[in-house]
């Protein structure tokens, strides 16, 4: 009996030591994983910031998050769950000396493939199957593009609407209308229709005056060049501004880095 107890105590100590070792190894791997992902996020952020500068735009420091845990497992298999890139206060040239500001440009890269050999040697392709980006351009900026005094833009029932004062036949009245939006490249064409003028007679002269004014309300919104080859695909009126949705596919990320 006296020999059995020491053996049990020794076995118990060995088991506890083994558990402690496993915990230490797991902790070390977790730390290494976080160090690796932090380095990759900083690298991507630096490269995206350089792209923004190259496009003569500005923004706050990119906030990059590589989703999925553990990160090193993704590196080993060469496939990444999702990369999120947030650019606060993005601002870029929009032609005619104008600058368009987007409070937050939210970018998501999905289906990212980066073979381990490519990361090690630099040879080969790192690609994102899809990249999407979205941001909001406030109505105050859009009203400036119209260039007519007193113009107000807003959203109503999912549509972009305009109201503005107009003088006709010695009277100043408010006209209102609904916008037709068309996307061509990175240019959003805004044209107004169904324009109404309360308080004015409905005759050919008045309609001619109103139609002439409506033509002055039309404008083009040139969205600044966006990083990662993003191209505007859709615009949606929201409560605070016009939401821009941009997309790209099979984007080469070698210039961004992982």
Q: Are residues 241 and 126 in the same domain?
A: yes
Full domain range(s) for residue 195:
141-222
Nearest 5 degrees, angle CA 236-CA 239-CA 231?
Answer: 30
Q: What own/partner pairs with CB < 8 Å and gap ≥ 24 does 193-200 have?
A: 197/166, 197/168, 197/173, 198/173, 198/174, 199/171, 199/173, 200/168, 200/169, 200/171, 200/173
Q: Are residues 23 and 97 in the same domain?
A: yes
Q: Are residues 162 and 121 in the same domain?
A: no
Q: Are residues 125 and 244 in the same domain?
A: yes
Residues 256, 127: contact at Cβ < 8 Å?
no
Q: Are residues 85 and 193 in the same domain?
A: no
Instruction: Flag whether 51 is in a domain.
Output: yes
Residues 58, 92: contact at Cβ < 8 Å?
yes
Can you tell me whether residue 159 is helix, strand or coil? strand
Q: Are residues 169 and 231 in the same domain?
A: no
Strand partners, 138: 241
pLDDT greater than 50 at residue 26:
no
How many structural domains compose the chain? Answer: 2
Name the percent of the chain lying above pLDDT 70.
70
pLDDT greater than 80 at residue 15:
no
Instruction: Flag whether 61 is in a domain.
Output: yes
Residue-level pLDDT at 173: 74
pLDDT greater than 90 at residue 233:
yes
Residue-level pLDDT at 105: 96
- Who contacts 51 (Cβ-Cβ below 8 Å, separation ≥6)? 227, 228, 255, 256
Q: Are residues 122 and 186 in the same domain?
A: no
Between residues 118 and 41, which one has the greater pLDDT?
41
Instruction: Flag whether 158 is in a domain.
Output: yes
Residues 107, 230: contact at Cβ < 8 Å?
yes
Q: Residue range 229-239: average pLDDT?
A: 94
Q: Are residues 186 and 116 in the same domain?
A: no
Highest mean pLDDT among 2-6, 71-75, 103-107: 103-107
Provide the whole-model pTM.
0.78
Instruction: Flag whether 257 is in a domain.
Output: no
Distance CA 188, CA 182 (A): 6
Q: How far is CA 88 from the centre of its chain?
A: 10
Residue-level pLDDT at 145: 87
Q: Are residues 145 and 207 in the same domain?
A: yes
pLDDT greater than 90 at residue 224:
yes
Between residues 61 and 170, which one has the greater pLDDT?
61
Name the percent of the chain lying above pLDDT 90.
33
pLDDT digit string, tens, across residues 93-152 = 988 888 999 999 999 989 887 766 665 555 666 788 999 999 999 999 999 888 888 889
Residues 225, 57: contact at Cβ < 8 Å?
yes
pLDDT band at 238 (very low <50, low <70, confident <90, very high): very high
Q: Give the residue carrying structure tokens 């996020």.
A: 41
pLDDT greater than 50 at residue 21:
no
Distance CA 138, CA 204 (A): 36
pLDDT greater than 60 at residue 3:
no
Q: Are residues 19 and 131 in the same domain?
A: yes
Residues 64, 108: contact at Cβ < 8 Å?
no
pLDDT digit string, tens, across residues 148-188 = 888 899 999 999 988 888 776 667 777 788 888 999 988 99
- For the chain, what is the mean pLDDT? 78
Q: Are residues 185 and 245 in the same domain?
A: no
Q: Residue range 57-69: average pLDDT?
A: 86
Distance CA 112, CA 131 (A): 9
Q: Are residues 217 and 237 in the same domain?
A: no
Instruction: Flag whether 258 is in a domain.
Output: no
Lowest mean pLDDT among 38-42, 59-63, 102-106: 38-42
Instruction: Flag whether 131 is in a domain.
Output: yes
Instruction: Flag whether 1 is in a domain.
Output: no
pLDDT band at 7 (very low <50, low <70, confident <90, very high): low
Instruction: Flag whether 108 is in a domain.
Output: yes
Asked if omega into 223 is within 30° of 0 (cis), the reply is no
Distance CA 74, CA 27 (A): 18
């Amino acid at each position: 009996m006296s020999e059995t107890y020491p053996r049990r105590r020794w076995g118990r100590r060995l088991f506890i030591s083994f558990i402690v070792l496993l915990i230490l190894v797991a902790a070390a791997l977790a730390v290494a994983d976080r160090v690796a992902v932090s380095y990759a996020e900083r690298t991507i952020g630096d490269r995206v910031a350089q792209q923004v500068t190259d496009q003569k735009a500005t923004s706050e420091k990119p906030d990059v998050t590589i989703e999925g845990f553990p990160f090193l497992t993704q590196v080993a298999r060469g496939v990444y769950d999702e990369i999120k890139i947030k650019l606060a206060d993005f601002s870029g040239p929009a032609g005619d000396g104008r600058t368009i500001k987007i409070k937050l440009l939210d970018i998501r890269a999905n289906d990212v493939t980066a073979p381990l050999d490519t990361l090690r040697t630099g040879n080969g392709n790192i690609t994102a199957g899809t990249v999407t980006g979205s941001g909001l351009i406030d109505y105050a900026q859009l009203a400036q593009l119209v260039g007519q005094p007193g113009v107000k833009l807003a959203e109503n029932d999912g549509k972009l609407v305009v109201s503005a004062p107009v003088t006709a036949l010695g009277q100043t009245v408010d006209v209102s209308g609904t916008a037709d939006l068309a996307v061509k490249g990175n240019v959003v064409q805004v044209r107004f229709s169904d324009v109404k003028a309360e308080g004015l007679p409905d005759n050919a002269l008045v309609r001619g005056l109103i139609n002439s004014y409506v033509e002055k309300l039309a404008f083009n919104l040139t969205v600044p060049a966006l990083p990662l080859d993003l191209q505007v695909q859709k615009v949606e009126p929201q409560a605070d501004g016009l939401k821009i949705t941009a997309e790209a596919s099979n984007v080469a990320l070698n210039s961004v880095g992982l």
